[in-house]
Amino acid sequence: MRRQLAAALGLAFLLTACGRDPLGARVSSEVGVTEFGPSDRVEVPAISGSTLDGTQLALAGYRGKVVVLNNWASWCEPCNDEAATLVATSKRFKPLGVNFVGLDVSDQDAAAREYTKKYGVPYPSILDPAGTTLASIPSVPPGALPSTLILDREGRIAVRFIGAVMEPAFTEKLNAVLAEE
């Protein structure tokens, strides 16, 4: 009975994810890295909102630059596991014009602030308390935490990580998108 329930839930999850975007037929909810060629890339929706410090932020303001969008929550263990990698990489790539933005999903403000303090997160995070922004992102299964997107200069998804980012793959993929004209 447990296996049947797990299989049914897994199928429902995949069907929900696949029905949300034009890449749905090609993407899966499996943990891993997916690269999208320039002709296969889709634009992220207009993501904006209040940040942990109360300012307003819109990804559209970064158009023309490479952006890393990391979807996280303080209670997510794999998010905690990848935090040091994201912080170090953001510091290394900031001089190259790469912008990192977090999307804090289904979290409480105090816990989110503690997370950013604990890991020394130097970049802003948009609050997504209901998870609706995460659920609107094409090619990312609803509720996929952590997940990280590398957006090209046109605001399109070039690389998708489901699960914690890992080195050296993260830096290699970021360098490849940064090298694009």
Q: What sign for the dihedral angle of Cα 78, 79, 80, 86?
A: positive
pLDDT score, position 30: 67
The Cα 69–Cα 72 span in angstroms is: 10
- At 12-60, the pLDDT tens digits run 444 333 333 333 333 345 689 999 999 999 999 999 999 999 999 999 9
| pLDDT at res. 180 | 94
pLDDT tens-digit map of 76-130: 999 999 999 999 999 999 999 999 999 999 998 899 999 999 999 999 999 999 9
- pLDDT, position 124: 97
Residues across the chain:
181
Number of structural domains found in the chain: 1
Q: Which residue spans within the chain are E strands per DSSP? A: 32-35, 48-50, 56-58, 67-72, 99-105, 125-128, 147-151, 157-162
* Structural domain of 158: 2-179
What's the predicted TM-score (pTM) here?
Answer: 0.83
**Which CATH number does the domain housing residue 36 bear?**
3.40.30.10
Residue-wise pLDDT tens digits, 122-170: 999 999 999 999 999 998 988 899 999 999 999 999 999 999 999 999 9
Mean per-residue pLDDT of the chain: 86
Give pLDDT, residue 16.
38
